[in-house]
Structure 1
Amino acid sequence: MDEARLSQRERRILAEIEQALSEDVSLERGMRTMSRKRPRVRRAAAGAGGAGRPGRRHALALSVSLLGMLTLGLLVLAVATGEPVLIWAFAAAWVLTLTGLLRLVIRWSHRLRPKSWPN
């Protein structure tokens, strides 16, 4: 099988492209550290007990779902009865639910962040 030969002009263009790519520092760093699997970042957090449990990743999503259902139930009861205790309980549950949702969105956005973005 005959191999295709590059003309002098094509070799010059290819050399210019290689030179331009070799000067790109961020591309070089990305290529040097590139791997098929993104390495997991382990963070040591105070009170992070149970780090070895398999369902730990989904614990926040499950708790936010349960808090959401609790919040909805408290909202219905607070509107139906008008009791101040139920209104305050709804407000507290709503704040906890929104905080959990914010943490889930932050976690989700970190997973989707391209590797080329600064930390």
Structure 2
Amino acid sequence: MKAHHLNAREQRLLEETERQLTGDRRLRWRLRLLGGACRLRHVLAAVLPGRWVLAVAALVSLVLLITGIATGSPGVIWAFAICWLVTWGVVLRAAYRWATTHLGSDDRRKPYV
């Protein structure tokens, strides 16, 4: 954003503020919600913290696995299969979040292609 009526110091402060706001993930998320782009994954990300979801999904998967082996019930086996997929989705999401927060864009390794 160029504001021609600002002096050099004010322009520099404005650009720095815009740069900080551009990198704010929570602000982008809130603005998307206000814009009407409310999707299920955004709502779930706001409501459920990542570590707890991962722990609960893994625990439920383990319980369903043991119950499915013990009973052999098709319903429990299908419930385990669905929960197992959800658990891996949560694991991959957590791994992606960890990688983006701990490995900046400058620190990422380039592929060996």
Shorter chain as denominator, the TM-score bin is 0.5 to 0.7
Aligned to 2:88: 98
Closer, same or farther in 2 for the Cα pair 1:68/1:111, shift >3 Å? same
The amino acid that maps onto 2:38 is A
Structure 1 residues 62, 93: closer, same or farther in 2, change over 3 A? same
> Larger relative CO (CA 8 A, sep 6+): 1 or 2?
1
Give the equivalent residue in structure 2 for 1:46: 38
Structure 1 gap segments, 5+ residues each: 1-32, 34-38
Aligned positions, number: 77
Rg (Cα) greater in structure = 1
Match status 1:75 vs 2:65: yes
Moved >6 Å (runs of 4+): none
> What RMSD over aligned residues (CA atoms) do the two structures have, in Å?
2.8
Question: CA–CA distance in 2 between the matches of 1:90 and 1:77?
Answer: 9
Query: Unmatched 5+ residue regions in structure 2?
Result: 1-15, 17-22, 109-113
Instruction: Give the number of the structure whose residues are more often helix, by fraction.
Output: 2
Tell me the percent identity: 27
**TM-score scaled to structure 1, two decimals?**
0.53
TM-fit CA distance, 1:57: 8.6
The within-5 A match list for 1:1-119 is 40-41=24-25, 42-43=28-29, 44=32, 46-47=38-39, 48-49=42-43, 56=46, 59-116=49-106
